[in-house]
Amino acid sequence: MPLETEPNIPAPDDFYQALIDAHAGLDDQRSAALNARLVLLLANHVGDLDALREAIALARDGL
């Protein structure tokens, strides 16, 4: 399964607000921990290892 990079979230602004709101009141360390947990939960939801490897490569690109 190729990684989906076309828009796939029906209400992107709702998602983005939920993401930013989730970090409210957390210090840097806890915020980083939240992100790590979130990545792991979403990775499990995706499941497909090829798609996950592709996402990791794209995220790493340019850093």
- Site residues, another protein (CB under 8 A): 4-9, 12-13, 15-17, 19-20, 23-24, 26, 28, 31, 58, 62
Choose among 59, 54, 57, 40: nearest CA to 2.
54
User: In the bound complex, what is the minimum distance in angstroms from residue 31's beta carbon to another protein?
Assistant: 5
Closer CB to another protein, 16 or 40, in the complex: 16
Q: Write phi, then psi, for 11 (nearest 5 degrees).
A: -125, 80
CA–chain centroid gap for 23, Å, is 14
Closer by beta carbon to another protein, 17 or else 53? 17
